[in-house]
A and B are shown apart, each in its own frame.
Chain A
Amino acid sequence: MKRIGVFICHCGINIAGTVDVKRVAEALKDYPGVVLATDYMYMCSDPGQSLIRQSIKEQNLEGVVVAACSPAMHEVTFRKASAQAGLNPYQTEIANIREQVSWVHQDDKEAATRKAIEHIKTIVEKVKYNESLIPLSLSLVKKALVIGGGIAGLQAAIDIATAGYPVVLVERSDRLGGHVGQLSGVYVNFNAARDLLQSKLQAVQANPRIQVFLETEVEELGGYVGNFTAKLKHRGSDGSEPTFSEHTFGAVIVATGHSLRPLSKFGEYGGGRYPDIIDALTFERMLAPDGPTGGEIRRPSDGQVPRQVVFVQCAGSRDPEHHMPYCSKICCMYTAKQAALYRQRVPDGQAYVFYIDIRSQGRDYEEFVQSAMTQHDVLYVRGKVARLYEEDGKVIAWGADTLTGKPVEVQADLAVLATAVMPAEGAVELAQKLRIATDEHGFFSEAHPKLRPVESLTAGIFLAGTAQAPKDIPETVAQASAAAAKVLSLFSQRELVAEPTIAYVDEELCSGCGLCIPACPYQARTMHPWKHKAIVNEALCQGCGACVVACPNKACKLRNLTPSHVLAMMDAYLAEV
């Protein structure tokens, strides 16, 4: 019989405060197969890991059970420790007696202790059947796909190509640059957005490793990390039929940007009916030297220079009742910039900014907003505008000054709405094609909000820019470079290593019925072309076990979780304690 060691962790008082760890060790000591059962304050600490390594050597252990926290936390730690002592890492398993025992049974110490004992016994049974496994090696295509040609996509493409790897950059419109290409000057220094963009565009054009496809969208994406296959759809010129091309990539960066809440959604602000109530991007074009007015501020209705301009912040943001519940993050800053630019170009003009709160988090951001108030004489009014309408050639704004508690009215010539940042059109459909998650609004979800902010939950697909959430240019560029760094760390490996604890098919038992193929949520199952037996794509299989359930012949099995494993574990659970 396998010689198994059981190591019970106190996790300070996290486990030992509820579970009687000494009694657990005592109960396991004489269990069949167990040659050592011991406890320690923190098994994951250096001395804890040394205890495991030393015991493996001294007791010639052939299997290890660490009764501790969730395997999501420290499975890798303890398997690595075992491997260092010469034991195959897949002979080490975790019995989760923290999340599944001590934390959920704090009010019943006796029951928690008994449950911990049962739980560890089942894992001991599992380890008895465990095979020694070798991690899988998968090939890796060192070429990246970047979806979206805005500032995020450009930056990511430049970083990857500069490191020496080929990049395909696809953009669905007919030009690169995205929203940044539409801006005038940027906060906090009024530098021309055109110049910023130009430096990136030149870097892309100068790099032979970057291949740009304009008017192109991703039609299909298959495969897996290291080996994605993409079908690209190229829009035909002059209405001709689209053409398609196929490529393979090792990694994908999604940088598809955002859209804005349309004016039609704001009935209280005219719903888009009034020419002199515009959104901030339209005003931005008015300020831009390459815009329709050549940088002159003229109101759309009659081409007059507006003498009074009302800026409305939070138009559609922070409004869970009617619009989007989140803060669009960029509006406070660009509104201050637009109001300041207006005052620079129309020195005798008056600008009013209606706001709920001012959020100016970033280097020099707060100072910039305050300079709009003091240097540029922009009047900030704390209160959201309730109504905008046109009367006798004026835009009438009804607001309130909540600081004095008085309602206010402005007879303005132009109103500019800071409309909410929304996911790009077609974001959800793209997410489905890429098999990545979106949040309830349609922004792509990161794998972890704090610790994995540039990865999607699908291995090999990374996120950059406003496709993930509202963010400004420096944040977007930083995230794009971070996503590129993730791609480069992937490409720096010779081959990919994957977990071997996945499904396999016993060809002797497989009847080729094919039930496992639709059961697989990862498209990892196909039929062998001439053997007529089901086969597993080892790179795609995530070891979920759906095929095991679907197979009527018990031909599908998971490595180290076979029916023998499971039945032995059940026996241990159901046995009298």
Chain B
Amino acid sequence: MRIQLSATKVHNDFIRKVEDMSGQDLLKCYQCGECSAGCPAAFAMDILPNQVIRLLQLGEHEAVLKSKTIWLCAACQQCYTRCPKGVDLSRIMEAVRDLLMLEHGDRIVIEKLPAETLAEFPQQAFISGFRKYTA
């Protein structure tokens, strides 16, 4: 399927939100591929980390949302450490996950959980650290 590029598509709301939430300029990336080259999880990914940014640059976020890659990213920041342009890809991955989760809403309603269960819960910050694996 041929991708239809247009001004509205490459600057769509989703892309804008990703940039806002991650604080990253997607167009800074010049697609050298060093993020993919160093990523310890790349072997298991369906699209490479650099392709996540590339698809967002083209306004093709649907393809990113469907990918396993955003969930396999462990936010180890190897990519950011090595990026010659200082793009923090893990933040972009996080923004995409957050947007997806906001779209789907929380699956757990805290109020409905029994008090004794709640008492055994760890701190929220700890939960948040694992949250991306549960959405």
Contacts and interface: CB of A to CB of B under 8 A. Distances in A.
Interface string B1-40: 1111111001100000000000001011011000000000
Interface stretch (B47-55, B97-105, B123-131): B47-55
Contacts of A409: 2-5
Contacts of B54: 401, 403-404
Contact of B2 (A373, A377, A407): A407
B79 to A, nearest CB: 16
Contact of B7 (A349, A382, A403): A349
A172 interface: no
A350 B58 contact: no
A322 interface: no
B57 interface: yes
B30 A403 contact: no
Interface in B44-89: 50-51, 54-55, 57-58, 60
A373 B30 contact: yes
A455 B60 CA distance: 54
B3 A401 contact: yes
Contact of A407 (B3, B27, B28): B3
B51 A403 contact: yes
Nearest to B57: A379
B31 A379 contact: no
Interface residues of A, number: 24
A401 B4 contact: no
Interface residues on B, range: 20 to 34
Given A373-B27, A374-B25, A404 B60 contact: yes
A379 B10 contact: yes
A308 interface: yes
A370 B5 CA distance: 21
Nearest to B8: A350
Query: Main SS of chain B's interface residues?
Result: mixed
B6 to A, nearest CB: 7
Contact of B6 (A308, A373, A380, A381): A308
A335 B91 CA distance: 32
Contacts of A350: 6-7, 10-11
Most chain-A CB neighbours within 10 Å: which of B2, B5, B27, B58?
A: B5
A411 B7 contact: no
A408 interface: yes
Nearest to B10: A379
Contacts of B57: 379
A377 B27 contact: yes
B18 to A, nearest CB: 15
Nearest to B58: A401
A307 interface: yes
A408 B30 contact: no
Contacts of A380: 30
A403 B31 contact: yes
Given A379-B5, A410-B5, A404 B55 contact: yes
A187 interface: no
A520 B27 CA distance: 65
A363 interface: no
A406 B55 CA distance: 10
A350 B58 CA distance: 12
A403 B54 CA distance: 7
A381 to B, nearest CB: 8
Contacts of A411: 4, 6
B5 A408 contact: yes
A307 B50 contact: no
B35 to A, nearest CB: 13
A352 interface: yes
A114 B124 CA distance: 92
A470 B103 CA distance: 54
A242 to B, nearest CB: 54
B7 A308 contact: yes
B8 to A, nearest CB: 9
Nearest to A350: B7
Interface in A286-337: 307-308
Contact of A408 (B2, B11, B31): B2
Contacts of A348: 7
Nearest to B50: A403
Contacts of A410: 4-6
A409 B60 CA distance: 13
Nearest to A369: B30
B3 A406 contact: yes
Nearest to A375: B27
Nearest to A376: B27
A351 B51 CA distance: 21
Contacts of A307: 7
Contacts of B2: 398, 406-409
Contacts of A406: 1-3, 60
Contact of B27 (A349, A374, A382, A408): A374
Contact of A382 (B11, B28, B31): B31
24 contacts: A308-B6, A348-B7, A349-B7, A350-B10, A370-B30, A373-B27, A373-B30, A374-B25, A374-B27, A377-B27, A379-B57, A381-B5, A382-B31, A398-B2, A403-B31, A403-B54, A404-B51, A404-B54, A404-B58, A406-B2, A406-B60, A408-B3, A409-B3, A410-B4
Interface of A: 307-308, 348-350, 352, 370, 373-374, 377, 379-382, 398, 401, 403-404, 406-411
Interface of B: 1-7, 10-11, 25, 27-28, 30-31, 50-51, 54-55, 57-58, 60
Q: List the 9 closest pairs (A to B, CB-CB), nearest first.
A: A350-B7, A408-B3, A407-B2, A410-B5, A403-B54, A409-B2, A403-B31, A404-B54, A406-B3
Given A381-B58, A404-B60, 14 more contacts: A308-B6, A308-B7, A350-B10, A373-B30, A377-B27, A379-B58, A381-B5, A401-B54, A403-B50, A403-B51, A406-B2, A407-B3, A408-B58, A409-B4
